[in-house]
Chain A
């Protein structure tokens, strides 16, 4: 996400222009028609997920995918919960610390890269950014070796460390963009003139203004760590890995219980969806109000 994000109130929409009324009504009808059509497109998979998850095993088949359940049951939810719950907690144990620590590092880095630059900081920053775009396959083979050599226990601890590390670039990017638009350079200058060192300036001037930046960063990081599959499948397994691994195993078996895999997909998506619904306004606002630059 190479977007510099800043959080400020949304710009109000342009006032209606001087259209003639008839055309405006047609245009509006077409617009809403299209919007509802697209809503349908977005909701189709959700419908199938929901409907199937309430079916008993025998009813859940590809052929009757669109029909409502004849016998509603929570069996699938129960069995999916039983299979997924341990890994669900592990996902929390991975995603929360990883998001928090990389957001903190990102905030410090972002501050330096925007308001306390050093010679070569632009080049270093660009090198950081590249780390965000690389296909992680290019580091995976030696990474597995390295985490082993570092003595990190497999599963949760390894994944926390790895997600912190590879989360640094994006978090730095978000905070750098945020600080360079919300924290006036003069404010930092003033603090420096007063003899405030780096840490004091950061703690007393920058940090108090950082809350919106943290919200955006935490949501982003939490979601991407939660949804990660690649690191998880290379560095953990169903016994010590996150919910994506467990869900993949549940849905990828040979004698798949379809209803349970659909319920499982919903369970596994629930936390990130809640985050989006509860905090989404901030996130969208941040994304949308962000000034884009290239």
Chain B
């Protein structure tokens, strides 16, 4: 360990950021957690601490369980969809095709658009009317003779949330593609050659050499897409608005604030934080460990 004189200035330079992050992230989380333990169910200030009562109530609340279920469905489809398209696109582009730059930029551009803006058009495309009154994608299916594909999209009572993931997949598959392209390109050329010299077929090469090399990329993509999905708010507000059918915890929290139920809103926010933390913290810890061993 070097002397303080040598590392001190470094700490000093980051100190403002440390203080800011300390306050705006950690102190505020603590404040939210604190609020979630009170009985502040109206605009008036809290009167008492009620322990974990708000959390117990949430677990007993059909509406909250329903919002968690919605979140789970959407997250699974969102993650699976972006990984599927992302890997496929990267695979198609990986070997170098004419106009690669064009395809890459096109697949990536939806990422530049906000969920609020894309929600405007997706609300139309995912119009639930079918048959003669069909609109949006259903009408397109009707026009090209794929009527059997028509479905109520997000207004399906059980699986609607899977459709809610479609705009999100549209938006972020390109990003996952970029991650995987970087991954493919990062694989040393010698490794492929070695495989070929050993007489591996192209398929075997991918299966045994290339894909295993990409598992860190897949993990990164999983974490990024997964945590984005769990925070999802804008897209749902833009496509369906706040309503029971498509409610996820972030929207339920918003609705609770609307009714001035601060304690419940805080409890939902903390549950959401814990869910995200379960996903992210092991990843961050592992990352930090790997870093230290370098």
A residues neighboring B (CB under 8 Å): 1-3, 10-11, 13-14, 16-17, 28, 31-32, 34-35, 38-39, 41-45, 48-49, 52, 61-63, 65-66, 105, 108-109, 111-113, 116-119, 121-131, 133-143, 146, 165-166, 168-169, 172, 192, 197-199, 202, 223, 226-230, 244, 247-248, 251-252, 258, 261-262, 264-266, 268-269, 272-273, 275-277, 280-281, 284, 287-294
Contacts and interface: CB of A to CB of B under 8 A. Distances in A.
Contacts of A197: 9
Contacts of B179: 3, 287, 292
B181 A288 contact: yes
Given A116-B9, A130-B280, 5 more contacts: A66-B139, A112-B10, A140-B269, A141-B257, A251-B123
Contact of A280 (B105, B220, B237): B105
Chain A binding surface, main DSSP class = helix
Contacts of A127: 21, 26
Contacts, number: 310
B25 interface: yes
Interface stretch (B50-58, B62-70, B109-117, B148-156): B109-117
Interface string B247-274: 0001001000100001001101110110
Contacts of A133: 227, 276, 280, 284
Contacts of A226: 114
B17 interface: yes
B97 interface: yes
Contacts of B276: 133-135
Contact of B24 (A10, A129, A139, A289): A139
A169 B25 CA distance: 11
A143 B24 contact: yes
A229 B237 contact: yes
Contacts of B272: 135, 137-138
A17 B196 contact: yes
A126 B284 contact: yes
A216 B124 CA distance: 34
Contact of B97 (A32, A230, A251): A32
B112 A275 contact: yes
A268 B288 contact: no
A293 B14 contact: no
B92 interface: yes
A177 B121 CA distance: 37
A251 B238 CA distance: 8
B120 interface: yes
B269 A138 contact: yes
Contacts of B286: 294
A290 B216 CA distance: 13
Contacts of A168: 17, 20-21
A118 B124 contact: no
A42 to B, nearest CB: 6
